[in-house]
Amino acid sequence: MNEQLVLDAVRNEKVSSRQGILQKLFAVWFDAFVYNQIWEDPRVDLQALELDSNSRVLTISSGGCNALNYLLSEPDSVTAVDLNRHHIYLLNLKLAAIKHLPSYQDFFAFFGHGKGKSTGSDYLKFIAPNLDKNTRDFWELNTLGGGLLFGPRISFFSNAGLYDHSRNGYFLQFFHKFSRLFGFKPEELLKAETPEEQETLYYKHLDPFFDNFLVKTLGKMPVTMFGLGIPPQQYEELKKDMAGDKTIIDIYRERVKRLACDYPIGENYFAWQGFARKYDTENRLALPEYLKEENYEKLKANADRLTSKVASATDEIKNNPKGTFNRFVFLDAQDWMNAETMTDLWSAIAEKSESGSRIIFRTASAGSPVETNLPEELRSKFEYKKELSEELFKQDRASIYGGFHLYICQNRER
């Protein structure tokens, strides 16, 4: 069932075509626990969304971090949806932990450290009784292979830790081990104290990695990008930034350099996850805002404003009354869509949202597909904040995308 939802989202080609076969493979691969954290910078989101007490947010969940970060702005509501039920189960676990664990330190053990001696007993005593059946089954069971290797998924929090698990986590583990075979140590980047040291360590431990023959070979294969949750059509979008003699490897190199060098490493938790698969648990600066102790009580007080469900964003908009949402966060979903499915989504927004509603998303390449994929009559109902989008893109610490885009609905009351 979940695999079919994902396939419906990514299938833009006939199954018999090469691209169609890749899309089918991706749907099978994506029907799993893919992301243990989100890879979109909430600081950028919040500047674009301008949340206030009247904001009603619809967001794609992914790892659930940003849905929780939005709560700190005290919006009226946040609704998190995802076609991948595993991501909703992670968010449900986080919500139950926020509401029912005795203390911040207990919460931080689960999602800051990603593991702890008491996580198993705390789960059974405080969290499990407050989970719905599907979520509880997910965490207390596993696939056959996963069960043999790791036991039930909740044991992630008492062995290697949450951030060593998920398909994205395994992907990062593989490349870390691969890089160490050639004498590179990505985690050394975290020791940098100045921008100059960041750049020096980047050229020592990361830049040469992209010159390796195997890396160049693997990097050109669309299936390799499955590990980052990139479907085949998004890989094709990524290639649009290959101007002149630039290769796909050059694009990867540029974005990793941006992650390593363009933002202070001491507070960039995306870099910590990318280069060491952990957060800054000692100084606790390189953390998502929802994990910081000073925000814990506010997070707890606002937790009931967040709801989650397995659903598509388009269906959630269509199935609710006009005005239910006035802030929309689509992550990179526009890259997954062809012109028809994108038109369906934006038609629903135009029909159901009020003037002034804000829509944000990211893309693998620099350009916005809204500019080319929507019929002109529908496109005219949205104002593209292009200059502001470009400025905010430069501030995105995650650094994995080619573009950030903000649109404002220009609906007029009839």
Q: How many CB atoms within 10 Å of residue 398?
A: 22
Determine phi and psi for 399, rounding to 5 degrees.
65, 10
Strands 327-329, 306-310: pairing kind = unpaired
Residue 333 predicted with pLDDT over 70: yes
**In this structure, which amino acid lies at residue 133?**
K
CA distances from 39 to 148, 161, 204, 271 (A): 29, 19, 25, 10
Give the model's pLDDT for residue 3: 44
23 pLDDT tier (thresholds 50, 70, 90): low
DSSP 293: G
Residues 306, 95 contacting (CB under 8 angstroms): yes
**pLDDT tens, 384-398?**
999 999 999 999 999
CA distance 46 to 59: 13
- Between residues 399 and 33, the one the model is more confident about: 399
Of 320 and 165, the one with more pLDDT? 320
Question: With contact defined as beta carbons under 8 Å apart, do 395 and 44 qualify?
Answer: yes
% of residues, the chain, pLDDT over 90: 71
- 219-273 pLDDT, tens digit per residue, is 776 666 655 666 667 767 777 777 777 888 888 899 999 999 999 999 999 999 9
Residue 414 has a pLDDT of 42
**Which residue's entry shows tokens 């573009």?**
403
Note whether 67 and 47 are within 8 A (CB).
no
At 269, the amino acid letter reads Y
Note the pLDDT of residue 223. 61
Range in 126-130, 132-136, 247-251 with the lowest mean pLDDT: 247-251
pTM over 0.85: yes
Q: Quick: pLDDT tens for 59-118.
A: 999 999 999 999 999 999 999 999 999 999 999 999 999 999 999 999 999 999 999 999
Question: In the chain, what are the domain boundaries?
Answer: 169-287
Q: How confident is the model at residue 170 (pLDDT cuts 50, 70, 90)?
A: confident
**Torsion angles phi and psi, residue 165, rounded to 5:** -115, 180
Quote the CA–CA distance of 236 and 354 in Å, as a whole number: 34
Q: Has residue 144 got a pLDDT over 60?
A: yes
Could you give the C-alpha distances from 152 to 33, 124, 305, in angstroms and in order? 13, 13, 30
Within 8 A by CB and 6+ apart from 210, the residues are 216, 219, 249, 252, 253, 256
